[in-house]
Each structure stands twice: as C-alpha cells, then as structure tokens.
Amino acid sequence: VKFTVKAQGPAKVASQAVIVSVFEGMDPLEGGASRVDAALSGTLVERLKGEAFEGKRRQVAVLDARGALPCPRIAVFGLGKKEEFHPGRFREGVAGTVRALRDRGVSEAALSLDPGALPAGPEAIARAAAEGALLGLYRFDLYREKDDQSKKELKSLVFLEESRKGKALAEKGLEAGKTVAEAVLFARDLVNMPANEMTPGLLARRAADMAKGRPLKVTVLDRAALKKMNMNALLAVSKGSDEPPKLILAEYRGGGRKTKPVVLVGKGVTFDSGGISLKPAERMHEMKGDMAGGAAVLAALRAAADLGLPLNVSAVVPAAENLPGGRATRPGDVVRSLRGKSIEIINTDAEGRLLLADALAYAERLDPEAVIDVATLTGACVVALGPEVAGLFGNDGGLVEKIRKASDETGEPVWELPLYREYGERLKSDTADLKNTGGREGGAVTAALFLENFVGKVPWAHLDIAGPAFSTKDRPDIPKGGTGFSVRLLVELLRSWTEGPAKSGGGR
Ligand code: BES
Ligand code: MN
Ligand code: ZN
C-alpha cells in the first residue's frame, strides 16, 4: 500500500472510500466524522445505528454515500470510550477497516486523521494509522497461486490532515510508523516461511541481505567457528540435523564510539521437532515458528538503523534445527558450554535454553550495557499466561520497568514472572553442573533460571514469547500466523533508552 498525506477534508476528497472514526456513543460526533455528518445533513448517527453500530472498538460499518460525498462509500470504525483513548485504538481500528475495505474490492481509500479533540496529535495518529494499515493488510502468500481473494489489494491510502503544521507532523508520524511496521512484517515473513526453506543458513542470509544498504554489520559464525569457540550447547542442538548451525551477529552503531551496546539475543530454532525427545505430531508444524525471537531481534535492529536511533545495539541469533537422527544428542548426554559450565541434557526438547546459554555467554563478550533475550521458550509460559501475553523475567528492576513501559506504549502485553531462586535446586544434576529441565511445574520459571546461569553481571531481561509469537486466530492488526510480537516493543525500548522515566498509558 502506498501512503500519501493530503491537506483535504473527508467530505471533499475523491476516492473509492472515505474512512472516519467515532467514539462510543457518538454523542456528539467530532472531527472528521462530524464533517461527513454535515454532508449527510446530520443523518450519520441514525444510519450507523441502523447497522447496529455503536462506536465500540473493533466495530466497522461501511455505508453507501448515496451521492452526498465525492466518495461512493463511507467506512466508519469505533474507537471505544473517549476517556480510554490511546493511539493503539486508532491502529487497531484502521487495521480492521482497511482489511474490510480490501475484502470488498476497494483499491484506494482516504482516511481522516482527525478523531476529535484529543491529547494525541497528528504525528501519533498518523503513526498509528500507518502501523495499523500495514499490520492489518499483511498476508503471507509467497506460496499460493493468486486466487480472487488475494488479487484484491488496497493500493493507496491517503491520510487527510487539513492544517499545514498538522500535515508536516503527520508526514513524520507516517514515516516512523511505516519503518516500524515494515520491520514487523519482515519478522512475520521469516516466521511464516516453512522450515524446509527457513533453515539456519537462510536465516543468516536474510540477515545479511537485510543489512545491505543499511548501516549494519552482519557476521555469521559457521559450524567450524562454533566448534573452535566451544559453543557446544548450541552445537548439541544441531547434531541431529543435516542443516549446519549458525551464530548470527548483527551490529548497529548509532551511538558514541565508546558507549556499550544494548545486546538483543533471539532464539533461532528453525524447526523444533523435540529431537530424540520427540514432540507429539498434533501441533508440531507450528514449530517452524521457533525462530520468532531471532526474527524479532533482527527486525528490531533493522528498525533501529532505519530510524537512526542514537545508540549502539547488537543482535545475536543462535540458529539451529532440532531433529532426531543417528548423530542426534541423546537424553543423558553431557556437554560443556561456552561459559565452561557443563550441562546434562535430560530432555532434548528443552533445546532453546541450550543454544541461548552459549549465545548469552557470547553476548557478554560484547561488553553490553544490558542484555535482553527473546525466545519461544516454554509451553509452560503459555499455560501460565495464555496465548497473547509474554512472560517477562529480569535481574534488574530498572530494566524490567523500562520493558513494561515500552509494552504499555505499543500494546504488546507482557507480565512479570519471578526469578524465584529457590527453584534453582530443580536444575541440579547428578553428573554435571546443571541439567536442562526442572520438571513440569513452574516450567517457565526454571527455564529462565537456567538462562540466568549464563548471564554475567549485567542487567538482563528475558521475554518468553512462546504464546504471542504465533496466532491461531485473526485479530485486526494481528492476522493469523507469525505475529512479529515484541518487534514494536523492542524498538520502543531502544527509542526510549536514553530518556528518563517514560510516560505511561499507550497502546493497549
Ligand atoms: N519451542 C518449545 C516451546 C514452545 C511451546 C513454543 C509451544 C511455542 C509453543 C520449546 O523448545 C520446548 O519444547 N519446551 C519444552 C520444555 C520442556 C521439555 C522442559 C516445553 O515447553 O514443553
Ligand atoms: Mn523444544
Ligand atoms: Zn523450542
């Protein structure tokens, strides 16, 4: 979709559809909606009520303009209660509306950026709108023959902002929103690609391709280099597969030469069959998304570079495929990790923590200011928090708070779970320094505690995104499949990194 900003009102613009928004109750109508209402001689509310539309969030109505406007169709979306407004509502509303219009065969539309008097100005609204449109229109159709449905495309979306100062701000917000949303789509594509294509090798190539033309440096360590470095926990995960493992390092230097980088670590298991501790067949295919953490941190780095954020950030992605085979790691095998600690591998399906152990030790060598890892780590986290909320762990209150604030801003929900150190007992092994599973109960906590063993004395946080990385139902700005969860959160975290306490109240 191509975006433009025009200094025009919604009652004057010519397009296939004009989109306005309303608050719940619609009393009074404000902003763009009131302008359209005037052109309809004050009948808009009545007509909407006839469609059982009240202005609640996620409600969309498409009306025939009956010649009262230059546009033949009027699309109206609900923002919910005015006192609960935040730009996330606008993002969601735009996402649902553009999708509804596209499915009706509309290929160009105009959107009023004026919901009415609000603390959020045209920059925030335009940003939310650009994000909503791109996130909502996303389809993964790389492998499909074009059918009638996928031929439908919204090609142009015009943002309507009448004041001149507002227009400049809207253009700025639009650019920022587009940059961040495109990074999210990059992550979604990587997650949605099937594992026969999205191998560790391809993930590394995609990272290198993404870096081209951007101020990013990508280095890929291959199996020989990993052996030489003693990254045996990472190597253990890949042993059953013919696909060689990779460690991908991407670096962005937007800050001072001597400032320490923020290091993002992302789990890059391109397929998780469980290995010898084989998973049941039923939902195994979803495990092509087990590199969602890796995709998210690469996408966040891409956006940081495109936005020119003034700090240094690195991404580390340990990538491997977890398969059974004649050379696969067996339950009971012991490996010595990069950090020197030995690990007894009780369950080969607890592979994420193995390759993250080596990646976290590697991250420490980059002399980080803070380390944040993102991983589809445990089914237990999905049991604890459900499919939409990520688990948040951390050894530093300030860092955890920063992540919570960023999550509030972007509407990607996280909930803190405890690094309850008593449970460290459960990771004691009879033969090695640690074992890789701590039993079924509190599985998300023991997994996080396992990781903590490989983090040095730096502020560290861990996001378990096993639930929200992949969606089995369509939501307005999150279509089914890979969601790109945490990309916007990470970008917001990096953006706010050098600020004082962030302002609260954002995206949910
Ligand atoms: N990749 C899975 C976790 C997962 C589960 C992600 C469901 C997305 C949806 C991870 O590698 C795994 O298999 N974890 C095991 C750990 C157990 C063996 C200790 C689990 O959660 O069952
Ligand atoms: Mn697993
Ligand atoms: Zn896994």
CA of 400 to the centre of ligand 2 (A): 26
Ligand 1 atom closest to residue 381's alpha carbon, by position in its atom list? 21
H or E element at residue 248 = strand 246-253
- Whether pLDDT at 280 is above 90: yes
Looking at this protein, which amino acid is placed at residue 237?
V
Is residue 448 a contact partner of residue 421, using CB atoms and an 8 Å limit?
no
C-beta of 466 in contact with ligand 1 (< 6 A): yes
Is residue 363 a contact partner of residue 263, using CB atoms and an 8 Å limit?
yes
- Nearest CA to 266 among 486, 489, 468? 486
Q: In the structure, what pLDDT confidence band is assigned to residue 150 with cuts at 50, 70 and 90?
A: confident
- Nearest CA to 476 among 52, 58, 3? 58
Return the SS3 of 435: strand
Ligand 1 atom closest to residue 279's alpha carbon, by position in its atom list? 13
CA of 350 to the centre of ligand 3 (A): 7
Phi, psi of 453 (to 5 degrees): -60, -20
Q: What is the pLDDT of residue 51?
A: 97
180's tokens: 């961040």
DSSP string, 450-485: HHHTT--SS-EEEEE-TTTTEESS-BTTB-SEE--T
Q: From residue 317, how far is each of 27, 251, 295, 414 by CA, in Å?
A: 51, 12, 8, 22
C-beta of 101 in contact with ligand 1 (< 6 A): no
Q: What is the pLDDT of residue 500?
A: 59
Length of the chain: 508
- Whether pLDDT at 507 is above 60: no
Kindly state the average pLDDT of the residues 228-257.
98
Looking at this protein, which amino acid is placed at residue 298?
L
C-beta of 483 in contact with ligand 1 (< 6 A): no
Looking at this protein, which amino acid is placed at residue 421?
R
- For 207-234, what is each residue's pLDDT tens digit? 999 999 999 999 999 999 999 999 999 9
Q: What mean pLDDT value characterizes the chain?
A: 96
CA of 377 to the centre of ligand 3 (A): 6
Is residue 377 a contact partner of residue 472, using CB atoms and an 8 Å limit?
no
C-beta of 351 in contact with ligand 1 (< 6 A): yes
Q: Is 58 a catalytic residue?
A: no
- Whether pLDDT at 508 is above 80: no
Strands of the 434-435 sheet, one edge to the other: 333-336, 342-345, 434-435
- Whether pLDDT at 191 is above 50: yes
- Residue 378: nearest ligand to its CA? 1
Contacts of 369 (CB under 8 A, 6+ apart): 259, 260, 261, 262, 458, 459
Kindly state the average pLDDT of the residues 284-311.
98
Q: In the structure, what pLDDT confidence band is assigned to residue 151 with cuts at 50, 70 and 90?
A: confident
Indicate which residue's Cα is closest to atom 9 of ligand 1: 466
Ligand 1 atom closest to residue 436's alpha carbon, by position in its atom list? 19
CA of 323 to the centre of ligand 1 (A): 14
C-beta of 464 in contact with ligand 1 (< 6 A): no
Q: What is the pLDDT of residue 119?
A: 85
Is residue 79 a contact partner of residue 121, using CB atoms and an 8 Å limit?
no
- For 407-446, what is each residue's pLDDT tens digit? 999 999 999 999 999 999 999 999 999 999 999 999 999 9
C-beta of 379 in contact with ligand 1 (< 6 A): yes
Helices 200-211, 164-192: inter-axial angle, 10-degree rounding: 160
Is residue 237 a contact partner of residue 254, using CB atoms and an 8 Å limit?
no
C-beta of 347 in contact with ligand 1 (< 6 A): yes
Helices 487-495, 397-410: inter-axial angle, 10-degree rounding: 120
- In the chain, % of residues over pLDDT 90: 94
CA of 430 to the centre of ligand 3 (A): 24
Choose, from 12, 223, 260, 279, the residue flagged as catalytic.
279
Residue with tokens 């928004």: 21
- For 55-87, what is each residue's pLDDT tens digit? 999 999 999 999 999 999 999 999 999 999 999
C-beta of 352 in contact with ligand 1 (< 6 A): yes
Q: Is 495 a catalytic residue?
A: no
First to last CA, the chain: 25
- Residue 269: nearest ligand to its CA? 3
Residue with tokens 């059918």: 147
The CA-based diameter of the chain, rounded to the nearest angstrom, is: 81
H or E element at residue 300 = helix 292-307
Choose, from 188, 288, 353, 402, the residue flagged as catalytic.
353
Cα–Cα dist 175/169, whole Å: 10
Cis peptide before 28 (omega within 30 of 0): yes
- Is the pTM higher than 0.95? The answer reads yes
Return the SS3 of 330: coil
Q: From residue 78, how far is each of 47, 177, 406 by CA, in Å?
A: 14, 21, 25
Which alpha helices (DSSP H) does 27-86 contain, by range?
A: 31-39, 44-50
Cα–Cα dist 338/235, whole Å: 11
Indicate which residue's Cα is closest to atom 17 of ligand 1: 350
CA of 281 to the centre of ligand 1 (A): 14
